Chains A and B, each alone.
Chain A
Amino acid sequence: MRLFQEDILKNIQFEDDLILKVDHLQTTFYTHMGQVKAVRGVSFDLRKGEILGIVGESGSGKSVTAMSIMGLVDEPGRVSGGSIRYGNLELTKLKDSEMNQLRGKEISMIFQDPMTSLNPVFTIGQQLKEVILTHTSLTGAEAHERAIQLLRMVGIPEPELRVRQYPHQFSGGMRQRVMIAMAVSCNPKVLIADEPTTALDVTIQAQILELIQNLKTKLDSTVILITHDLGVVSEICTKVNVMYGGLVMESSDVIDLFENPQHPYTNGLLQSVPINVRGEKARLIPIDGTPPDLLKPPSGCPFSPRCPHTMGICQKEAAPLFRINDRHCAACWLHSPEAPQVPGYVQSKVGEE
């Protein structure tokens, strides 16, 4: 397929089941108004078989993190620091042409808006074949067969007919399935789904999420699911990173996150979602204030202006990740041994992560 280009995947090696290691990732947009620091030091590990949920609101940096992993951050932005290791490959040092060998084949992404992610002038079949032919050495006819197979796998009825149709003949949910088919067509190791169901109705959302879960099992891949919906996270994720203001606030096993949240922001999110109990019209407990302006982020912890437990140090320095247990850590000074006791928040005996 590609002449004169070194196959960067030739010598790739993975240690244990560690697929992706992100270390102090920083991504900045250099605009004429100043530097927008969208991602300000994000670190996490992705292990085989996990479904990692990255939860955050607008401006948290969750989407930019995913785009940085995929190498899709465009001018005027770029990765300005840190590392992203895929096995023993350092992704931040790869050229775009080299990244192309990975995209679609090793790491794939599905986007939020199914209405605009597909090219309206080509058939579904043509678009699927394009991905297949780019990364495999199948012939045209073989690719066509594979396309039909993929459509069937994602639950599209009558795939032989549908493969010749155009995007406008598909509903939103169907188009998202097609996107998923394209993303898994080359059996990627990592599937990144950026708010895949935000634009869809709740019944379709359930179908799509179930599909992602099934495919992950069937194809033995690992999933990063970006969302703002805690319910979605709770239903299918195994691990969760909560992001705010370009940083990871809390990282945990999913059950631990909901039963034992250890960050004021996570707590705030959980409390602002209604718990509906018959008869009681309990008042929602919102988080005061607005998300931070990334042109001038607050000094120290980005959540400090809105946190009910802000301390002096919170405004000076962002907290490191304190280890709560071996599956759970939180970036909050309340866990420091020097901090006063606040009910619900443990002090980390093990120290920093």
Chain B
Amino acid sequence: MNKVAYNNFDFLPPEAKSDKEQTRPSLTYWKDSWRRLRRNKGAMVGLFGILAIVLFAVIGPLFTQFTYDQQVNKYKNVEPFLNVYEVDEGVFVFVNIDYYAYQISEKGELIDRLSGKRPEKNIAEGIWRYHYNLNGKDLILDYSYKQVPEKAGEGIAYSFIYDGVEYKEKAKTVWNKTYPLGTDNLGRDMLSRLMEGARISLLVAVVATVVNLFIGITYGAIAGYAGGRTDDIMMRIIDIIDSIPLLLYVILLMVVLNDTGLQTIILTLGLVYWVGMARMVRGQVLQLKEQEYVLAARMIGVPKHKIVFRHLIPNALGPILVSMTMMIPTAVFTEAFLSFIGLGVSAPHASWGTLANDGARSIQTAFYQLLEPSIGIALAMLSFNFFGDGMRSAFDPRLRRG
């Protein structure tokens, strides 16, 4: 404003008047949507989950001691949470599902597997035992509590006998610090394998989505803008592609390429998944091409491809982003599913699906081996779903408020 004071009833010269042409930055579509997204708790939780999984996959391997394919024979099928027994002052042992006994530190670091495992079974006399060597002496695992009816009443499954003393109760439950998520049946660290699995699952999902993005958007935009017969034909092609089940494609490709594994899956997903995106983009384009700014571009004589890429697609980005976010969990699940039925990556590579497959075989004995990859898949899908749902609500212009 100006510093000259004007008397109340003097006419003001034009410069002294406030700006008669007001412009103000009103909220753009993006700013408004981003703001709504931030307020959506579900979406933020989902976003957090996604970031956590990405970090897990990318940076995680730097912090583990083992690689995903490193096999340590003596540590097969070791659980993540262990019931340890203190058989001597400061000496802790536990037994795994294969009836091997291990010595472990009080804090949970594995020391070694005990040698000299020797079963002793005589059901008639109520004897079911395993013998091990611990520090030169004999450690006995008495497993008869479950098998012998007289002893069943005591409520325990087994006991340790060392140096003449029987230990019926565990000293404590310890978290396995050497293998925080346990090992699998070949002695490989589950944590590392899950990280590898995360990497592969995410890689598959992202690559498939990106490929679908390019093919889907371009195809849909062309069909929508061209209209008429071209549009009809293109859409019928999509219908045909869509009607053949995914599994069939994978198997066919497997036969043709003579290979299961990562490339096949990505290729399949790339060949088939763009359909949803194409349909959606076509719908958007059909709507947008009647907008006056598109007509204005046509009046100027802007060539068709520029209209599609400069005017139509940028304005359809909102729904495209949402669609993309929702495609990822589907891709993750599809990859997991294919791997689970055996059409996935081959050993020693791991994806969550193959891990689940391996784990399913030991579902009764080593449940954790199935649980862990399943939780991973579920978390990834939930995170992307929550986030995608939040995106959809945030980018819907009809919900625009305030």
Interface residues, chain A, with chain B CB atoms under 8 Å away = 29, 31-33, 76, 288-290, 292-293, 295-296, 298-299, 304-306, 309-316, 333, 336, 338-340
Contacts and interface: CB of A to CB of B under 8 A. Distances in A.
Contacts of A29: 402
Interface in B1-51: 5-12, 17-22, 24, 27, 35
Nearest to B7: A312
A166 B84 CA distance: 77
20 contacts: A29-B402, A289-B21, A292-B22, A298-B18, A299-B18, A304-B18, A305-B17, A305-B19, A306-B20, A310-B12, A310-B17, A311-B6, A311-B9, A311-B11, A311-B12, A312-B7, A315-B12, A316-B8, A333-B9, A340-B11
A51 to B, nearest CB: 33
A31 B32 CA distance: 12
Given A33-B27, A313-B9, A333-B9, A305 B18 contact: yes
Interface of B: 5-12, 17-22, 24, 27, 35, 401-402
A315 B18 contact: yes
Contacts of B10: 311-312
- Identify the interface centre among B7, B11, B19, B21: most chain A CB within 10 Å of its CB: B11
A305 B12 CA distance: 10
Chain B at the A interface: SS class = loop
Chain A at the B interface: SS class = loop
A336 B17 CA distance: 20
Contact of A290 (B11, B21, B35): B21
A32 B35 CA distance: 10
Given A33-B27, A76-B401, A76-B402, A336 B20 contact: no
Contacts of A340: 9, 11
B22 A312 contact: no
Contacts of B35: 32
Contact of B12 (A33, A295, A299, A312): A312
Nearest to B13: A310
A295 B24 contact: yes
- Identify the interface centre among A295, A314, A333: most chain B CB within 10 Å of its CB: A314
B20 A31 contact: no
Contacts of A31: 402
A76 B400 CA distance: 12
B8 A311 contact: yes
Contacts of B401: 76
Contacts of B22: 290, 292-293
Contacts of A316: 8
Contact of B9 (A33, A288, A312): A312
Nearest to B27: A33
Given A289-B20, A306-B20, A340-B11, 8 more contacts: A32-B35, A288-B20, A312-B8, A312-B10, A313-B8, A316-B8, A338-B9, A340-B9
A292 B35 CA distance: 26
B9 A336 contact: yes
Nearest to A289: B20
B10 to A, nearest CB: 6
A312 B6 contact: yes
Contacts of B6: 311-312
